[in-house]
Structure 1
Amino acid sequence: MTPFSTSNVPSMAGCTVVVTGANSGIGRVTARVFADRGARVVLAVRSREKGQTAAAEMTGRVEVRLLDLADLSSIRSFAREFTEPIDVLINNAGLTVPPLHRTADGFELQFGTNHLGHFALTNLLLPRIRERIVTVASLAHRIGSVDLADPNWERRPYRAMRAYGQSKLANLLFTAELQRRLGIIGSTVIATAAHPGMSATNLVRSEGRGAGFRIGKAVIDLVTQSAEDGALPTLYAATAEIPGNSYAGPGGLLESRGAPKLVGRTAKARDAVAARRLWELSEELTGVAFPLPIPGAGGAAISRSTT
């Protein structure tokens, strides 16, 4: 079988694709490919200036809309103003191993942005999504463990890499529970996930870090694949004929690089009970719930009692 490449992405004419964090890295590449295939692409970004710079390098129908995933009020505003149908939502934005900071709503920055921000955004947009939701996870989910009693590192000593692993494990648990709920209501929308392997993007920045960190990052940069190749698993998860709750990643050594394929995940990432509990906690923290009605349930949305 010929390895998946951008040439396998079908025509997206007539489709609307929203990509978070689309001003740089794999998000920028993903947005560009969809625009090249004829989609109307919305770059959902924190900086209008950076978004417009990225959009200027793309062909076709590309627009920039402001979205700060570290601020629930920004997420609600974005969703409220987005009234048109969305064919594909790419939950791509994220950040890695910053010093301890908190979002506008008091969440640990990585958990709040990488997971809770996309959780709220997806559920608020869900009534308008028609085809697929792709959430970008990471190999780091393998070191992750979701502490439901202290997800925001308020009582534990903060460990940046552990916090990142927690947020990426949360991405996979979110995808699994979202797909379960979509299946319950008989929706044709599917939720998938992807990871870029070891991709050379600016997600991990060296500015303000020590010499040891910068040296380590330089070594990592030597063995990573390009942002163009790193975006392929996302494109595969968004367009290939795969089932819901699929997880795509590079097919090469240790999933670090290579053409995308369906890959495995840890036992923690397959824990259905943990996925449901995380969903319940995420609803409580964000105030956002699954918005679609259950057939035959009098129009009631799925509640936290659906376990």
Structure 2
Amino acid sequence: MTEWTADRIPDQRGRVAVVTGANSGLGLVTATELARHGALVVLAVRNTDAGEAAARRIGGETEVRELDLASLTSVRTFAAKLAADFPAIDLLVNNAGVVLLGPRRTTADGFELQLGTNMLGHFALTGLLLGNLAAAREARVVSLSSITHKNAHLDFDDLMFERSYRAAAAYGRSKLATTVFGIELDRRLRAAGSPVVSVLAHPGLTRTNLTPRAWEHRGRVGRLIARAGLLATQSVEQGALPQLRAATEPGLPGGRFYGPAGLMETRGRVTEARLGREATDPAVGKRLWAVAEEITGIRYL
């Protein structure tokens, strides 16, 4: 099979795509390619000034709307307005995220910031928009995972790392939770006979605006490590290809997971990636879903 590139994205005209965190990095590339192929792209961003600058850079048909995934109030407000304006939504790319922020921080609702932003905010957003997605033809939800999910563990007795916080472990847990969510969503959509498809992707090691932030709080040594690490990463354009393929490949079945093919899934051409064992455990999926519904107040499927 020939290498998959963005030129293989089919015509997206007439489709409405929502991309969270679309003002930079992977989200910007994803939004740009979707707009280039004809989609109306909603840039769901925390900073609307940065979003407007991104929209000018992207061109095509775009809208900028404020969304702070670290606030359930913001998620509800965004979803209500979007649902009213777009009765049918074809694509939701749950791309936005935060990574390795040093000392423990929390969201507006008291959740550990990485788990709250990367997974719980998207869990709430997806649930609130599910009716609009179901109203579209061949709608799809793409959740952005990470290779770090394979070495992470969901400790349900201390899900928010309140006892002993480690930023890297908290990030891995947030991405495991995101992956579990994407797979469990697929199970529930199938069981309900929903036309919506849930798929996943990860970018391997990619140069984004988040990469240096992973180490900047560790001082001079951390900054040196960040610069060295950039040399081992692939471009953001290449890193965005797995989620673009997951978002646009025709006839994709639910549960499909894309990532890079080379060097332990860190870089290279797009291929089907391997899911970690805990991510595919139905008991873990059921338990996380119950917790997420309880603490976000969003119940669906």
**TM-score, with length taken from structure 2:** 0.94
Counterpart position of 2:75: 75
Question: Which of the numbers 204, 224, 238 marks the counterpart of 2:233?
Answer: 224
Question: Hey, what's the Cα distance between the residues in 1 that align with 2:34 and 2:119?
Answer: 24
Which aligned pairs between 1:65-214 and structure 2 lie closer than 5 A? 65-82=65-82, 83=84, 84=86, 85-99=88-102, 100-129=104-133, 130=136, 131-154=139-162, 156-204=163-211, 205=213, 207-214=216-223
Whether the 8 Å CA contact 2:150–2:277 is kept in 1: the answer is: no
Moved over 3 A (4+): 206-209
Report how far residue 251 of structure 1 moved. Answer: 1.0
Per the alignment, in what secondary structure is the counterpart of residue 57 of structure 1?
helix
1:257 aligns with 2:267: yes
- Among all aligned residue pairs of Structure 1 and Structure 2, give the percentage whose two residues are the same amino acid: 48
RMSD after superposition: 1.0
One-letter amino acid of the structure 1 residue matched with residue 108 of structure 2:
A
Q: Check 1:190–1:115 CA distance in 2 against 1; reply closer, same or farther (3 A cut).
A: same
Report how far residue 67 of structure 1 moved. Answer: 0.1
Question: May I ask how many residue pairs the two structures share in their alignment?
Answer: 290
Whether the 8 Å CA contact 2:94–2:122 is kept in 1: the answer is: yes
Counterpart position of 2:276: 266
Q: Deviations over 1:191-226 (max 9, x none)?
A: 001000000001132555411211111111001111
Report how far residue 59 of structure 1 moved. Answer: 2.0
Report how far residue 152 of structure 1 moved. Answer: 1.0
Question: Hey, what's the Cα distance between the residues in 2 that align with 1:177 and 1:142?
Answer: 16
Unaligned runs of 5+ in 2: none
Question: Hey, what's the Cα distance between the residues in 1 that align with 2:156 and 2:119?
Answer: 13
One-letter amino acid of the structure 2 residue matched with residue 256 of structure 1:
T
